[in-house]
Structure 1
Amino acid sequence: MNVWRRLSAPRRALALAGAGVLVAGGLVTLPVTVAHAATRCDVTYSTNDWPGGFTANITIHNLGDPINGWTLGWTFPNSSQRVQQGWSAEFSQSGSQVTARNLSYNGSLATGASTSIGFNGAWSGSNPKPTSFTLNGVTCDGSTPPTTPPPTTPPPTDPPDGRVDNPYQGVRGYVNPEWKAKADAEPGGSRVSNNPTAVWLDRIAAIEGTPDSSSNGAMGLRDHLDEALRQGAGYIQFVIYNLPGRDCAALASNGELGPDELPRYKAEYIDPIAAIQGDPKYASLQIINIIEIDSLPNLVTNTSGQPGGTAMCDTVKANGAYVNGVGYALAKLGAIGNVYNYIDAAHHGWIGWDSNFGPTADMLKTAATASGSTVRNVHGFIVNTANYSALREPYVKVTDTVNGQTVRQSKWIDWNQYVDELSFAQAFRQKLVSVGFDAGIGMLIDTSRNGWGGSARPAGPGPTTSVDAYVNGGRIDRRIHAGNWCNQAGAGLGERPRANPEPGIDAYVWVKPPGESDGSSEYIPNDEGKGFDRMCDPTYGGNARNGNNPTGALPNAPISGAWFSAQFQELMRNAYPPL
């Protein structure tokens, strides 16, 4: 379900001393492709060097009028410097002059917005940084003179006012009686069955209820809302999860809609949900929607040219199914005054690298402003949905060194900038604000299965004989590989749902109901469109996305969403904090 992108070898080889940052203006003269009344810009260029090669990360910050289409240019100081493989832009090079042009999804930059691009390069002799850049032919010098006055036409209508800052604070969450009944039927399950969990609307039939389904309960959307009123709940959580071509980089949660069925997604899925959630009867509830997990980050990490890229991800990126579907959902649901939309933002083991971090934030911004939506329809973001990444790693910090070597070069961390979800969520929140989201956005962290307690939980740091021994001995996330996502052996319940646990974090939540399978261990015929993914097969030796490691999946698992008693029992045994 949560698909992780493994970096290519050149990007993992960032070992050495050249990690400097340069903020510069521009000098290169390039053709002006788009005219702007007041183009002003700032460029940050940083590199990680190794003998003969380097990775460059570039952030373009628009300080002038809004831009719709951009071309960045610079000149390499050393004639041997070459761009070899780029991302998030179309790169070309003539001699020492380099041009980077926007892609279809990141060409628009509002005033104050930024976007990140990058490339792998080669050099000989030395690798000095460019000292100047241009944006659409205008020198980037960091100045911010007044921009062109805005038009006098009225601005778009904002969503209804009256939302609270944090919909989780000071109110009781809805307990799904169908999940509670399954948990209560397990030995000791009553210890956790009163925790609020999300209701997954993972196909059109789930709106009305699917009594004959093996993985959905009989209750529909309106039934759950009515029950929330009966319980006196203050908030209720739904997962909006039915995009055309859903789960484009995996198979376990493939959906019912083909990649070209965006009109059906709008008319038969989002519109009915909006009609029910907008019923004045439910105005006293704070309705929280988790928007389309595992979608937008796939457009950054799992398309052609990327490790593990798939044809389906190429299709939904090219036809706009994900971007426009998410934008439409945000616009329709965000128009309801008591609805709070949180977009899925993957997890640290997926987009924690610089090459994924900025481009994913840009992609989220693109979707939030598509199909008539604005960033005002986004109350926040959620990380680690239905995944297992540890909330905190108490004994391994990304800044640690062992015998003079950074732990980032260990096989587990693999040059990632983060080792746990809390540090990632807080940093990604700042990045999202920098690209144009409201400064008040909050983050959610799904802690339903990331406790990693039990006898295998380390009690202190690992040995300092090597970076791998130190990291593997001290990390509490006991997965074989951080790219493993399906029914992980050894996992435990994490922090119980609660509001305001850390700065910038609205809540720890159980969006993935503990005990519901991630996918079947072998192919099981079903009428829900859910396929068989080998990452759920405990006998599978892995693929490029998880470094060709075993999957770590539990055996005898049912299809995604169906009750998995053995997993629920293991989650309780390994709960941390302990039950």
Structure 2
Amino acid sequence: MAPGRVRPPPERIPSVSAQLLSRLRTAAAAVALSAASVLPIATAQSAHAAAARVDNPYVGAGVYVNPEWSARAAAEPGGTAVSDQPTAVWLDRIAAINGVNGSMGLRAHLNAAVAQSQAAGRPVVFQVVVYDLPGRDCAALASNGELGPTEIGRYRSEFIDPIATILADPAYASLRIVTTIEIDSLPNLVTNAGGTATATPQCDTMKANGNYVTGVGYALAKLGAIPNVYNYIDAGHHGWLGWDSNLGPAVDVLKQAATASGSTVADVQGFIVNTANYSALKEPNFTIDDTVNGTSVRQSKWVDWNRYVDETTYAKAFRDKAVAAGFDANIGMLIDTSRNGWGGAGRPAGPGPKTSVDAYVDGGRIDRRFQTGNWCNQSGAGLGERPKAAPEAGIDAYVWVKPPGESDGASSAVANDEGKGFDRMCDPTYTGNARNNNNMSGALPNAPLAGHWFSAQFQELLKNAYPPVGGGGGTTDTTAPTAPTGLTATAATSSSVSLAWTAATDNVGVTGYDVYRGATLVASTSATSYTDSGLSAATAYSYTVRARDAAGNVSAASAALAVTTPGSGGGGGSAGCTATYRISSDWGAGFNADVTVTNTGASATKGWKVTWTFAGNQQVTNLWNGAVTQSGSAVTVLNAGYNGAIAAGGSTGFGFGASYSGANTVPTLTCTAS
């Protein structure tokens, strides 16, 4: 498939039938206040107090569990194993703001989120999808939406303005409100408009009249003006925008929208990828740099010259390009992992045979779709990683924006008053089109309208979940572990502190520990020790540790430990900046690493330099967002022209790939700033 010919994932519209609500209303009420978040806790906070703005809204917070989705999931066999997971609330039409057919409206959901925050004694993230642009979903038919291509005035006054008014209510000031802004819209302008091979008349219209760009800009400006709202713009997925000819133009279009209609880049917290799609979080059995008999993986039919093979590498690359284009250096990425687990019996246990590049890729890829352009109710899909805060540098969270079990679109035409049409990509007998390289659609049969509950899909997602879902109905344990005790510093240098503590105890077993430096989560580990690196010399730090159990409960914090690092003396820190080093992937003969540079001074930097000495034979092969020189094992990285200036307390970063043999230990970094 040529670049830009992949279909985006179009219809992701939750809606609730009156009959289903009647059956589940009692169950929904029962879980509205008691559903527990799976994300880590930092500090207790009154739901009545205004929430201070934070760099990553997911760190140190719970996430709202939608009682309507939770009740539907719990009503399925085995569904209680995941029914306490947080999912997003979708506003897909004007009527949804106040509720449709007896379903909860926006205020009802926000009130329930405040109640969950009060019950848990901690801040809560409320996730909402804003999805009703004029001429919406211009490249598909499953739900073109209620507003015509020219109805930008109605979009502003009847959709965005009322949402903004509700979100700005002081009653909700304690919540961290995360918005997903208009999925599929802006990427469609890149691949499906303006003379491309896959252009549609509707997408051409939307590109010509500019209402996607101005509409998104208006939404960003209105919602971004609310102090506790965090806007994330949809950025497609790697199988849609991962080619060089698509990724750069996509960033440009998003930048255009972020500076339209009164918006600025300051109104953008970050971007979300794989929204309601199925692309694998990580492909463990091959990388884009692999070759088979001299043929690059990029030449395989599956990869088809794409630059990325999974969502993690794509998300990080998108972030880097967005920062280079002028977005804030601290922006973060969200990855929707609700349906990209690809577990079950069909999951490959290792790489494919090296008889050909196609055999190698097809035999090892965990994404089992016929083609990455397939987006509707995919057969064989499974639940993915559970929602989690700050899983990797630059990734704000794994999230379940698409509520598992809600259909992508009907598998045959269904008369309705919801503006939802019939797209052949939802028909399991369809043999495809140019957007999926004429492959079968891979869709499940007997699917209902987009957003309606699809029991067979939910059961398929449970069966194929990866990580697997525990047997039966899950655990009902509600007792938190004991707090870790005996937190001590076993060693401290000018750039690091080594911590150790006594294990906590729990009814269902302790599964790990969350380490906090002040109020910031710095590590999640299964060990009872951790070394916090990249610190400043002669600086005081405070640490606490919390325990987690198999049921998702989190303990109270340990007693706080105050540690002051020694003076520099040639160690790994400086008065102006610190640098932390993280290996993001390692395949034995090479690895990728990310380095985060943080300004610890009182004023903005003009430039920075990070140096280190490898303990082994590591050799940097390529580096992005900086300039590198290496002499033997000694490495020096200078800032690029666009990221030398870091605001006080702010961060930037760079990444690199390297080859090695033998051990691959993490070096001690030295950071200096001017």
The answer as to 2:271 corresponding to 1:381 is yes
SS of 1:288's partner is strand
Summarize the alignment of residues 135-534 of structure 1 with structure 2, pairs less than 5 Å apart: 162-211=52-101, 218-232=103-117, 234-534=124-424
Q: TM-score, normalised by structure 1?
A: 0.72
Structure 2 SS opposite 1:289: strand
Match of 1:551 among 441, 448, 462: 441
1:6 maps to amino acid: R
Shift of 1:261: 0.2
**Distance in 2 separating the partners of 1:413 and 1:245:** 31
8 A Cα contact 2:51 2:174, kept in partner? no
Distance 2:6 2:277 in 1: 20
Letter in 2 for 1:231: Q
Describe the superposition over 1:101-159 as per-residue Cα deviations: whole angstroms up to 9, x where unpaired: xxxxxxxxxxxxxxxxxxxxxxxxxxxxxxxxxxxxxxxxxxxxxxxxxxxxxxxxxxx
SS of equivalent residue, structure 1 residue 229: helix
Question: 2:182 corresponds to which letter in structure 1?
Answer: E
Q: Deviations over 1:523-563 (max 9, x none)?
A: 11111101110000000000000000000000000111000
> Residues of 1 paired with 2:110 and 2:396: CA distance?
22
C-alpha displacement of 1:166: 0.6
Deviation of 1:161 (Å):
11
Q: What are the residue-to-residue correspondences of 1:110-129 with 2, within 5 Å?
A: none
Counterpart residue type for residue 148 of structure 2: G
The Cα offsets for residues 450-473 of structure 1, whole Å up to 9 and x where unpaired, read as 000000000000011111111000
| Cα distance in 2, alignment partners of residues 196 and 5 from structure 1 | 33
Structure 2: distance between partners of 1:5 and 1:532:
23
Q: Is the 8 A contact 1:383 1:421 kept in 2?
A: yes
Give 2:192's aligned amino acid. N
SS in 2 for 1:408: helix
Letter in 2 for 1:577: P
Contact 2:194/2:207, CA 8 A, preserved across alignment = no
Match of 1:150 in 2: none
Deviations 1:421-444 (A, max 9, x none): 001101110000000100000000
Shift of 1:162: 4.6
CA distance in 2, matches of 1:414, 1:481: 10
| Larger RCO (alpha carbons 8 Å, 6+ apart) | 1
**Contact 2:4/2:246 (CA < 8 Å) preserved in 1?**
no
CA contact (8 A) 2:64 2:124 kept: yes
* In 2, Cα distance between equivalents of 1:507 and 1:266: 29
Question: How many Å apart are 1:259 and its aligned residue?
Answer: 0.3
Which of 446, 454, 460 is matched with 1:564 structurally?
Answer: 454
Amino acid at match of 2:156: K
Q: Matched residue pairs, number?
A: 420
C-alpha distance in 2, partners of 1:498/1:549?
A: 34
Give structure 2 stretches of 5+ with no counterpart: 8-49, 118-122, 470-674
Residue identity opposite 1:566 in structure 2: A
TM-score, structure 2 normalization: 0.62
Letter in 1 for 2:349: A
C-alpha separation in 2, matches of 1:169 and 1:531? 39
Q: Which residue of 2 aligns with 1:59?
A: none
Q: Is the 8 A contact 1:7 1:307 kept in 2?
A: no
User: Structure 1 residue 307: deviation in Å?
Assistant: 2.0
Amino acid at match of 2:5: R
- Kept in 2, the 8 Å contact 1:197–1:237? The answer is yes
* 8 A contact 2:335–2:397 mirrored in 1: yes
Give 3-state SS (helix, strand or coil) of 2:346's partner. coil
Partner of 1:6: 5
CA root-mean-square deviation: 1.4
User: Which whole-Å CA distance do the structure 2 matches of 1:521 and 1:308 have between them?
Assistant: 22
Kindly provide the amino acid, as one letter, of the partner of residue 170 in structure 2: P
Which amino acid counterpart does residue 473 of structure 1 have in structure 2? G
Secondary structure in 1 aligned to 2:80?
helix
Any idea what SS the aligned residue of 2:410 has?
coil
Q: CA shift at 1:7, angstroms?
A: 7.4
> Aligned in 2, Cα 1:473/1:185: closer, same or farther, shift over 3 Å?
same
Looking at structure 2, the residues matched to 7 and 334 of structure 1 have their Cα atoms a distance apart, in angstroms, of 31
In 2, the alpha carbon distance for the partners of 1:539 and 1:5 equals 25
- Counterparts of 1:408 and 1:391, CA distance in 2: 18
Could you tell me the percent identity over the aligned residues?
Answer: 72
Distance change (3 Å), C-alpha of 1:266 and 1:442: same
Q: Is residue 209–residue 219 contact of structure 1 (8 Å, CA) maintained in 2?
A: yes
Cα shift at 1:163: 1.7
What does residue 137 of structure 1 align with?
none
Range with greater deviation from structure 2 (271-280 or 250-259): 250-259
Q: Is the 8 A contact 1:304 1:311 kept in 2?
A: no
Asked whether the 8 Å contact 1:252–1:560 carries over to 2, the reply is yes
AA aligned opposite 2:453: W
**1:222 Cα deviation (Å)?**
0.3
Distance 2:193 2:151 in 1: 20
User: Does the aligned pair in 1 maintain the 2:272–2:335 contact within 8 Å?
Assistant: yes
- The amino acid across from 2:438 in the alignment is N
What secondary structure sits across from 1:183 in the alignment?
Answer: helix
Whole-Å separation in 2 of the counterparts to 1:5 and 1:176 = 35
Q: Contact between 2:130 and 2:182, CA under 8 Å: does it hold in 1? A: yes
Contact kept? 2:181, 2:231, Cα under 8 Å: yes
Between the aligned partners of 1:360 and 1:304, the Cα distance in structure 2 is 14
Is residue 381–residue 461 contact of structure 2 (8 Å, CA) maintained in 1?
Answer: yes
Measure the CA separation in 1 of the matches of 2:125 and 2:52: 15
Whose strand fraction is larger, Structure 1's or Structure 2's? 2
Aligned-partner residue type, residue 412 of structure 2: E
